[in-house]
Amino acid sequence: MTAKVVMVQGTASSVGKSILVTALCRILRQDGHRVAPFKAQNMALNSYVSADGGELGRSQAVQAEAAGAEMTVHMNPVLLKPEADARCQVVLLGRPFKTLSAGEYYDFKDQLWPVVLDSLARLREEYDVVVIEGAGSPAEVNLKGNDIVNMRVARAAGAPVLLVADIDRGGVFASLVGTMELLEPVERLLVKAFVINKFRGDVELLKPGLDFLRERTGVPVAGVIPYIHHLGIADEDSVSLEGREWRAQRAGKIIVALVDLPHIANFDDFDPLRAEPEVELRLVKQASELQGADLIILPGSKTTVGDLQYLRSSGLADSITAASKRGVPILGICGGYQMLGLRLADPMGLESAQGEVRGLGLLPVETTFAPEKSTQRVRGRVLPSPGLLSLAAGEEVEGYEIHMGQSLVGGQAVLSLSERNGGSETTVDGAVSADGLVVGTYVHGFFDRHGLRRRLLAWLAERKGETLGAGEPAFDRQQAYDRLAEVVRGSLDMRLIYQLVGLEARR
Closest CA to 443 of 480, 407, 470, 495: 407
Candidates 74, 263, 334, 403; catalytic one: 334
- Measured CA to CA in angstroms, residue 42 lies from 13, 81, 109 at distances of 11, 9, 13
Across 253-364, the runs of DSSP E, i.e. the strands, are 254-259, 264-265, 279-284, 295-298, 300-301, 330-333, 343-345, 356-358
For residues 57 and 64, what is the distance between their CA atoms, to the nearest angstrom?
11
Beta bridge partners of 259: 284
Residue 25 catalytic?
no
483 vs 473: CA distance, rounded Å: 16
Does the active-site annotation cover 74?
no
The CA distance from 74 to 81, in Å, is 17
Neighbours of 355 (CB within 10 A): 10
Residue 211 CB burial class (10 angstroms; 0-12, 13-18, ≥19): exposed
| Distance between CA atoms of residues 106 and 197, nearest Å | 31
Dihedrals φ, ψ of 482, to 5°? -65, -40
Q: Which of 250, 203, 178 is nearest to 10 (CA)?
A: 178
Residues 186, 118, 91, 49, CA torsion sign = positive
Could you please report the per-residue DSSP string of 178-213?
HHHHHS-HHHHTTEEEEEEEEE-S-GGGGHHHHHHH
Using alpha carbons, select from 283, 291, 358 the residue that is nearest to residue 320: 291
* Catalytic option among 33, 263, 403, 444: 444
- Residue 327 to residue 330: CA distance in whole angstroms: 9
- Which sequence positions are flagged as catalytic? 334, 444
